[in-house]
């Protein structure tokens, strides 16, 4: 205890000023937040809850109090507003409630490390929990003695940092030193954890550090509690706590932004099997009337989140950040399976995670989304791209041309020419569509976005045809985007040479599966030298980037190795530059680093991957973005149920979106675009106009209004509440549903203006 008290003396003006008022914290006052003066936290957390015996106060803000227990190296955070205690260990009461084996050291661990070691059978991956091997009685000379009986221990030292504590751990059997700073950000009322890779040391020749799992049991919840885990799979997803488990319960680790592997083959597999992207570096948990919400503010591109459901190793639900300190790579024989190498150093990267603590009406995924949106706005990571005078647009994708492989070579298949595109948008304009986000895809020769990237296919009208379309779109006030893919290439890609321009893997081989991945510095150079001059001449409003806004990879280039942080930095520079070179920018999916530049989020997921242990998808991404950036989803003519898709657009705040061709899609039966089974413009134009007018009249006034809350009222019935007080009810079921605002008929929606 003396060491903790010494920290208090360093971090607080005087420890004697802290006295416990004896007030019941959860019911102390009903004043507003601006007037609220929460009681001072007690010096010892056991004064509030006996389960936390030994925890001593380290730092305190208006709302939060941070505690540390030296004997097991754990922390706890007291939310003084609600009285909730969030801890990195499992309490005795929780053990008794769940009937769990309390002897396991993992339940008391501040962190765990994943490492690989060379063995007779090859390279093995293992995880070590910090509390499993804690001791403070190891001789200095034993630290580096591999033959010592004490070669499996962890030595812990404490030091003061501003508003918190620095915990330095040295683990002998893995031979590393890990430094974690834990403090309170008093201005923002958050718990902050940081790890600086430059301050970490690694000594072992037989093992290599791969990951650090921070606070693996922080806030761990039992089966019978009311709440859920939130993680950012697709639009966002929750896993509700339940004692009923399947036989396939398993943990899931999701790297932020894109897969861990730098593999174009794995990317293709993920796209084909329906794996959703992980767009934002966030995670959270709701327990009763409280919740925590985590944001990885630094090092996100080399981080991820791990969700462990109850029934997988333990009887507790938990979620925590994972820091990647070395990359996995692929072998030539297998482009989809992670492999590791003993070579290379750990990243000299700075990682920072901040935890927000929510209560009452804010303690749910909606409150988490609003918290995240405020964070993005405050840090200039999100801007308002929708003015008060903007009307809800129609989003339209025109598919131009492709090819059919035959024994005589490729046969050109023309679906829409530029002159036909002008005809299509003219008809829509004449029918009253005043605002449009217009995207042209497959406009290069044979529809290959990685082929001739700076010339429109002559079969659909060539460059002169593209200019004419751009001029007509501008005349109507429509935004025209040209879809491009700048991250991948094939051998016939314009001005591309694999030996010079391709990203290399850790073995120095080109990263290739179905296509090459281009090194980010080359992408930037190609953008400036090839794309900008061409598209400025064509007169388009902006570019629609297929991969730039959602796919990151580490790479070797010019005999140097670059991690994903460098790739993110380069791609962000390109995206930022587009806002100067063109009027607007569109990106697919929209990772966090792409939001600041985006004027349109194309194909924003409306669902999750559907892992076995999740309950349902939620519109976390839509709550974050609505009113700031327009976003579209699956095309109405490509979904199996047009009516259900329309309701999803209304519930989630999407703009109506269609993918069309001028001629019949029967021409696509023997091509890679056979999935576009119904897209002929003349078949859909009246439906599109009617659907747009209905949505514009019903919810168009909410286009620039942020979403405040989203709730499932009962199965198939949801309500979305906007900041102006408007409510949008959606009923996917066949029976009418009564609400306090009126009846929502089956397969319909109800709008209540605020």
Tokens of residue 576, six digits: 């930022």
- What is the maximum span of the chain, computed from C-alpha positions, in angstroms? 89
Residue-wise pLDDT for 506-538, tens only, equals: 666 776 666 888 999 999 999 999 999 999 999
Who has greater pLDDT, 356 or 675?
356
711-753 confidence digits (pLDDT tens): 999 999 999 999 999 999 999 999 999 999 999 999 999 999 9
Position 446 confidence tier, pLDDT thresholds 50, 70, 90? confident
Within 13 A of 720's CA, how many CA atoms are on the CB side? 26
Lowest-pLDDT choice from 141-145, 226-230, 257-261, 712-716: 141-145
Q: Is the pLDDT of residue 179 over 50?
A: yes
pLDDT of residue 496: 92
pLDDT over 90 (residue 48): yes
List, as one string, the DSSP characters of 116-170: EEEETTEEEEEEEEGGGGB-S---GGGTT-TTSTT-S-EEEEEEEETTEEEEEEE
Q: Is 463 exposed, middle or buried (0-12, 13-18, 19+ CB in 10 A)?
A: middle
Predicted local confidence at residue 26, as pLDDT: 33
More confident call, 50 vs 150: 50
Q: Which pLDDT value is given to residue 121?
A: 46
pLDDT band at 99 (very low <50, low <70, confident <90, very high): low
What's the rounded mean pLDDT across residues 612-621? Answer: 94
pLDDT of residue 690: 97
Question: In the numeric block, which tokens belong to residue 662?
Answer: 């001028």
R_g of the chain, CA atoms, integer Å: 28
Would you list the domain boundaries of the chain?
A: 2-89, 394-490+523-547+566-703, 705-754
CA end-to-end span of the chain? 56
The whole-angstrom distance between residue 347's C-alpha and the CA centroid of its chain comes to 21
Question: What is the structure's pLDDT at 637?
Answer: 93
- The count of other CB atoms within 10 Å of the CB of residue 187 is 8
Give the residue with greater pLDDT, 620 vs 566. 620
Rounded CA gap, 446 and 458, in Å?
A: 10
Residue 101: band (very low, low, confident or very high) from pLDDT cuts 50, 70, 90: low
Task: Name the percent of the chain lying above pLDDT 70.
Answer: 81
Please give the Cα distance from 462 to 478 (Å, whole number).
21
Checking 708-712 for CB contacts under 8 A at 24+ apart, the result is 708/366, 708/370, 709/361, 709/364, 709/366, 709/623, 710/365, 710/366, 710/618, 710/619, 710/622, 710/623, 711/364, 711/366, 712/616
Measured in degrees and rounded to the nearest 5, phi and psi for residue 642 equal: -60, -40
pLDDT of residue 207: 63
| Average pLDDT value for the chain | 85
Better-scored residue on pLDDT, 134 or 559: 559
Answer whether residue 167 shows pLDDT above 80. Answer: yes
**Integer Cα distance of 214 and 139 in angstroms:** 28
Angle at CA of residue 681, ends 680 and 687, nearest 5°: 110
Q: pLDDT digit string (tens) for 87-97?
A: 999 888 877 76
Looking at residues 158-170, what average pLDDT do you find? 92
Q: Which residue bears the tokens 């699956």?
A: 634
User: Quick one: fold of 394-490+523-547+566-703?
Assistant: TIM Barrel (3.20.20)
Give the integer Cα–Cα distance in Å for 691 and 394.
10
pLDDT of residue 640: 85
Nearest-angstrom CA–CA distance, 371 and 623? 10
Name which of 623, 637, 555, 631 is nearest 594 in CA terms.
631
Tens digit of each residue's pLDDT (9 = 90 or more) over 483-499: 999 998 988 898 999 88
Would you say the pTM of this structure is higher than 0.85?
Answer: yes
Residue 379: count other Cβ atoms within 10 Å of its Cβ. Answer: 11
Q: Which residue has the tokens 């070179």?
A: 581
Concatenated DSSP letters for 22-69? ---GGGS----TTT--PPPPPSBGGGT-GGGTT-EEEEE-SSEEEEEE
Is the model's pLDDT at 234 over the cut of 70? Answer: yes
Average of pLDDT values for 264-280? 75
- Asked if residues 184 and 190 have their Cβ atoms less than 8 Å apart, the reply is yes
Of the pLDDT bands very low, low, confident and very high (cuts 50, 70, 90), residue 272 is low
> What SS3 string covers 396-439?
EEEECEEEEEECCEEEEEECCCHHHHHHHHHHHHHCCCCCEEEE
Q: φ and ψ at 114, to 5 degrees?
A: -105, 130
Torsion of Cα atoms, 673 then 676 then 678 then 683, to 10°: -80
Instruction: Name the band, by pLDDT with cuts 50, 70 and 90, for residue 104.
Output: low
Q: How far is CA 250 from the centre of its chain?
A: 20
pLDDT of 34 higher than 50: no
> What is the per-residue pLDDT for 729?
98
Lowest mean pLDDT among 77-91, 314-328, 578-592: 314-328
Confidence class for position 32, pLDDT limits 50, 70, 90: very low
pLDDT at residue 15 in the model:
34
641-644 long-range contacts, CB within 8 A, separation 24+: 642/687, 643/747, 644/732, 644/747
pLDDT band of 379, cuts 50, 70, 90: very high
The residues facing 413 across adjacent strands are 402
pLDDT band at 134 (very low <50, low <70, confident <90, very high): very low
Q: Dump the DSSP string for 542-569.
A: EEEESSTTT----EEETTEEE-HHHHHH
Mean pLDDT of 696-723: 98
Of 116-120, 203-207, 364-368, 442-446, the poorest mean pLDDT is in 116-120
């Amino acid at each position: 205890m003396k060491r903790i008290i010494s920290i208090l003396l360093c971090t607080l003006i005087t420890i004697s000023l802290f006295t416990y008022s004896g007030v019941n914290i959860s019911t102390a006052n009903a004043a507003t937040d601006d007037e609220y003066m929460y009681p001072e936290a007690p010096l010892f957390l056991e004064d509030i809850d006996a389960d936390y015996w030994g925890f001593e106060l380290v730092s305190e803000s208006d709302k939060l109090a941070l505690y540390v227990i030296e004997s097991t190296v754990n922390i706890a955070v007291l939310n003084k507003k609600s009285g909730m205690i969030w801890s990195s260990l499992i309490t005795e009461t929780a053990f008794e409630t769940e009937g769990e084996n309390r002897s396991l050291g993992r339940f008391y661990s501040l962190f765990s490390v994943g490492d690989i070691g060379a063995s007779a059978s090859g390279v093995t991956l293992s995880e070590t929990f910090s509390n499993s091997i804690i001791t403070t009685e190891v001789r200095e000379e034993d630290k580096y003695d591999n033959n010592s009986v004490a070669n499996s221990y962890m030595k812990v030292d404490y030091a003061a940092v501003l508003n918190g504590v620095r915990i330095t751990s040295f683990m002998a059997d893995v031979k590393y030193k890990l430094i974690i700073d834990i403090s309170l950000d008093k201005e923002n009322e958050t718990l902050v954890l940081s790890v600086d890779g430059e301050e970490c040391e690694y000594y072992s020749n037989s093992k290599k550090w791969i990951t650090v799992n921070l606070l693996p049991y922080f806030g761990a919840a039992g089966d019978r509690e009311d709440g859920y885990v939130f993680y950012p799979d697709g639009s966002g997803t929750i896993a509700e706590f339940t004692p009923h488990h399947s036989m396939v319960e398993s943990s899931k680790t999701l790297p932020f932004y894109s897969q861990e592997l730098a593999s174009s083959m794995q990317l293709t597999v993920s796209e084909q099997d329906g794996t959703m992207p992980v767009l934002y570096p966030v995670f959270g948990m709701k327990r009763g009337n409280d919740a925590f919400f985590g944001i990885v503010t630094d090092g996100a591109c080399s981080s991820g989140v791990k969700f462990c459901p109850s029934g997988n190793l333990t009887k507790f639900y938990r979620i925590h950040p994972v820091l990647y300190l070395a990359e996995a790579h692929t072998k030539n024989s297998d482009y989809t399976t992670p492999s590791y190498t003993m070579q290379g150093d750990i990243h000299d990267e700075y990682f920072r995670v901040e935890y927000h603590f929510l209560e009452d009406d804010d303690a749910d995924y909606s409150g988490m989304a609003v918290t995240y949106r405020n964070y993005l706005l405050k840090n200039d990571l999100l801007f308002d791209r929708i003015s008060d005078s903007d009307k809800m647009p129609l989003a339209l994708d025109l598919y131009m041309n492709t090819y059919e492989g035959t024994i005589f070579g490729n046969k050109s298949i023309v679906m829409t020419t530029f002159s036909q595109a002008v005809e299509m948008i003219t008809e829509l304009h004449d029918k009253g569509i005043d605002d449009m986000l217009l995207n042209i895809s497959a406009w290069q020769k044979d529809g290959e976005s990685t082929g001739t990237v700076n010339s429109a296919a002559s079969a659909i009208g060539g460059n002169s045809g593209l200019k004419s379309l751009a001029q007509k779109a501008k005349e109507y006030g429509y935004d025209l985007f040209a879809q491009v893919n700048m991250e991948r290439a094939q051998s016939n890609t314009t001005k591309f040479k694999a030996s010079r321009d391709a990203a290399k893997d850790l073995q120095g081989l080109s990263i290739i599966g179905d296509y090459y991945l281009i090194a980010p510095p080359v992408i930037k150079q190609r953008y400036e030298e090839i794309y900008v001059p061409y598209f400025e001449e064509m007169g388009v409003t902006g570019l629609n980037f297929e991969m730039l806004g959602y796919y990151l990879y580490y790479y070797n280039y010019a005999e140097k190795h670059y991690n994903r942080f460098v790739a993110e930095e380069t791609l962000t520079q390109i995206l930022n530059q587009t806002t100067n070179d063109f009027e607007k920018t569109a990106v697919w999916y929209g990772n966090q680093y792409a939001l600041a530049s985006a004027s349109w989020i194309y194909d924003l997921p409306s669902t999750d991957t559907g892992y076995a242990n999740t309950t349902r998808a939620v519109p976390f991404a839509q709550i974050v973005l609505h009113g700031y950036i327009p976003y579209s989803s699956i095309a109405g003519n490509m979904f199996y149920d047009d009516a259900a898709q329309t309701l999803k657009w209304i519930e989630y705040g999407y703009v109506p979106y269609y993918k069309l061709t001028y001629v019949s899609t029967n021409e696509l039966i023997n091509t890679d675009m056979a999935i576009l089974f119904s897209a002929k413009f003349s078949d859909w134009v009246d439906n599109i106009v009617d659907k747009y007018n209905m949505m514009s009249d019903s919810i168009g006034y909410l286009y620039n209004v942020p979403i405040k809350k989203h709730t499932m009222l009962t199965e198939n019935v949801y309500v979305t509440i906007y900041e102006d007080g408007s409510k949008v009810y959606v009923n996917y079921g066949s029976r009418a549903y009564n609400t306090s605002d009126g009846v929502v008929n089956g397969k319909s929606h109800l709008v209540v203006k605020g």
